[in-house]
Structure 1
Amino acid sequence: MKKSLIIGGCFLGICLISSCVPQKKYHAVNVRNAEMMRSLRDTESDLDSTRQSVEMLQKSIANLKDSLAREQQEKAELASRLESAMSASSSVRQELSDKEQRLMEQQERLDMLQQLLDEQRAIMENLKTTMDKALVQYQSDELQVYEQDGKLYVSMQDKLLFPSGSATVNKDGREALGKLAEVLNNSPDIQVMVEGHTDNVPIKGRFEDNWALSTARASAIVRILTDTYDVIPERVIAAGRSYYYPKASNDTEEGRSMNRRTEIILTPRLNELFELLQ
């Protein structure tokens, strides 16, 4: 009996033990599940935060790409503008250099022109001085030497050169032309124009009109200068101007007397000046 009680007690204890073990495991499993659920929720929360961070980073990256693209575009535009500016600057520098070169060349031409003008002026001043000395014996109502417009004029009245209405040079006129020719032969670069002038009184006799008389007188003087006194013919021009270029009024005898003249116009050679002006 006692033995039976012991066995029964053992059996009862075993049953009790067997019923207690599954309940503890179940509790442990529940705890474990609860922890895993909390961990899962935490992980999901972390994942959401990570996704949000990624989205923000992606937006930032997109903004940076847009900003970088704009900056690259601006850089390209600046580079293009810089290249254009450098090209324009190079063109401007070249243009300035060309202008400076042209200005230098023009200044050189001006300097050469001024030098030639000074030389010509000195030649004409020296020629006038020489001519004044050569013709000093003649009175002002017979002969005048003066400068005008860069030329030297030797104005000889007809009473010194010709009888009235004639184109034949008299003795006194030939002597005066000889003195003048001596100066001309010592000045080979001087061009000579001989202009005959008359008053407005109609001519009578062997000449058709005052044109013919003025031209014949100029030609007569040219022949004496070239044939008698050896002035080179290529240097000399003969012209008649009749009464159309008066020195004074033809309304008075005094004025008509002044108009009856022959002007020998002396001009320096201007070939070099003309070449520089072209």
Structure 2
Amino acid sequence: MSRSWGERIFDTSNSIFLILLSLVTLYPFLFVLIASLSDPAWIVQVRGLIWYPKGFNWEAYIMVFKNPSIITGYLNTILYVILGTSLNILMTSLGAYALSRQDVMWKNPVMFMIVFTMFFSGGLIPTYLLINDLGMVDTRWALLIPTAMSAYNLIIMRTSFQAVPVSLEESAKLDGANDFTILFRVILPLSMPVVAVMVLFYGVSHWNAWFNALIYLRTRDLYPLQLILREILITNSTESMTTGVGGADKMPIGETIKYATIIVATAPILLLYPFLQKYFVKGIMIGAIKG
């Protein structure tokens, strides 16, 4: 089918706009990557845009990985992501399954109370007092239990479960399946796109989380990577990684260490996204609120 000149102009303009938008979005990350691989003295002096590393070196990355706090933070963050995401998927799927069944009593009032929490909350101080009274302050549980389920993600998964034909559930019950069997062997396998999206949402949330750790944790051995990154970027605490560097060179290498730390903290979650991208749009569309 031939296209009119107006359609061709629109498609061309749209493509140019999206390419420029992609460059504007991508360039800050490229700038950080290039700066982390460049000569520290040059990075301190340069102003404006940079497009390639000058004086290519890995010194900043070597110093970053020699820092025991970053290694500990990495391991803690991986642990929080694995345990937290697993708990999130379990709690969200259980809640979504119960609220998506037609024969569940009081599901509408329960759903109203869940949605209510999206608009109103007790606030930081009551939440801290509750976590403290439960004995979870300065423990890993303070980062896992309070965020065990997201109301927004629960709504998405509940809507996805409602799209599964009721006849499948009835057939499973005729074969002697209970609710747990139906959920884990019928509903979830048919809802893998939305589950993949939930894994992405929860995983990114846990990877980037730092505020709860700042509020509830006191022991540095429990700090996640993002809290260590915050210390390096905001409080400028790169002295421990520049031991043995001459006084005049400490400030330049400290700047490249900051850039290298950002890349180290960001790259793993960026590498995860391509594997879940094919499920992303489909999962959101399946779990979209229909009305």
The TM-score, its normalising length taken from structure 2, stands at 0.24
The TM-score, its normalising length taken from structure 1, stands at 0.24
Structure with the bigger percentage of helix: 2
Bigger Rg over Cα = 1
